[in-house]
Amino acid sequence: MQLSRTSLSRCNPCRPLLTPLPSQRSITSASASAATTTTISAFAQENGIQLNDQTLLSEALTHPSFGKAILSKNTRLGVLGGKVLSLYAAEHVHSAYPHLPADAVPSVVDELTGPKALQSAGQKLGIAKVMRWKPQQNLPTADTKVVGSILQALIGALYQDQGAAVTKQFITSHFLSRTVDESIHAKLANPLAALDAVISLAGRPRPEARVLKETGANGPSPLYLVALFNGEEKLGDGFGSSKAQAEARAAKRVLRNHYRNELAALEIPQAAPGSERITFFPPA
């Protein structure tokens, strides 16, 4: 039987006989989202992390490379977490090492909470398995910087959601429970003199300091990146608001990474008043 034009017009609006199925992309996205939520929940439960705001936990575990929408949230949590971590570490060092020279306190704090400590704690927590990020050209793998920034954001989220007491307990458990050799850090209070003495006793070639980057040199907030080289091999680098500060931080990193055993046995002579400051920059 043929339908007339009039009959067809009465079918307005016509309803589809079959309801369209959701696209495969929608199904996949929903499954991935559910899987991510499950993984994050398992991560939190395994590590004893209890946040009232689960969205905050997700934001903390999402690296800025994952998407622009969460850039400010993750970064802000990271800044907060970094400050809280440094505060409790400094408080711990102040009370646990009462005879440590004031100049050496930042060195101990850095050993307890610096990049290596962040990487070690992040690995034990399993952050690399649960964090969301996208590999970049300068960050092809989940290296120290990525894991460390995520862990700092996690500390920030914990502090914001649970407060000071819970966060301090978390930091104490994962960062402040081990001891450090305070004698080494006392020597690191003058890293340029320590490095100069170590390489002289070891008969090693004297490294050369080079400025790799500088910004705002003529402004109110200059920043320098200085590295120490043995030939073309970079031994270590450091940032600072002056070339001298950046060079000292680079020397401290070189001592930690290359001369730790030699430093432990070293007796550094006290500099005579008015003596010339040690530097590894070539003569001008």
In a domain, residue 221? The reply is yes
Say if residue 115 is in the same domain as residue 87: yes
Edge-to-edge strand list for the sheet holding 223-230: 208-215, 223-230, 233-240
User: Hey, what are 159's tokens?
Assistant: 């502090």
In a domain, residue 82? The reply is yes
**What are residue 267's phi and psi, to 5 degrees?**
-105, 115
Beta strands (DSSP E) in the chain are 208-215, 223-230, 233-240
Size (the chain), residues: 284
Say if residue 256 is in the same domain as residue 159: no
User: Hey, what are 81's tokens?
Assistant: 């977490």
Say if residue 223 is in the same domain as residue 139: no
Tell me the helices (H) and strands (E) count for the chain, helix number first.
13, 3
- CATH code, 117: 1.10.1520.10
CA distance 179 to 216: 39
Say if residue 53 is in the same domain as residue 137: yes
In a domain, residue 25? The reply is no
Say if residue 65 is in the same domain as residue 109: yes
pLDDT digits (tens, 9 = 90+) for 116-156: 899 999 999 999 889 888 776 655 455 668 899 999 999 99
Query: Which of 153, 180, 207 is at the close of a domain?
Result: 180
In a domain, residue 277? The reply is no
The position carrying tokens 């991935």 is 32
CA distance 241 to 218: 12
In a domain, residue 274? The reply is no
Say if residue 250 is in the same domain as residue 194: yes
Flag residues of the chain having pLDDT under 50.
1, 3-35, 140, 272, 274
- CATH code, 218: 3.30.160.20
In a domain, residue 22? The reply is no
pLDDT digits (tens, 9 = 90+) for 228-245: 999 999 999 999 999 999
Say if residue 158 is in the same domain as residue 67: yes
Q: Are 212 and 237 in contact (CB under 8 A)?
A: yes
Range of the domain at 119: 46-180
pTM value? 0.68
Say if residue 55 is in the same domain as residue 170: yes
Say if residue 83 is in the same domain as residue 119: yes
Say if residue 172 is in the same domain as residue 204: no
Say if residue 157 is in the same domain as residue 209: no
In a domain, residue 79? The reply is yes
Please, what is the angle between helix 144-162 and helix 71-96, to 10°? 80
In a domain, residue 10? The reply is no
- Residue 52's identity, in one-letter code, is N
Answer whether the bond into residue 13 is a cis peptide, omega within 30°. Answer: yes
CA distance 282 to 195: 16
Say if residue 160 is in the same domain as residue 253: no
Angle at 46 between CA 143 and CA 152, to 5 degrees: 40
CA distance 182 to 187: 9
Number of domains in the chain: 2
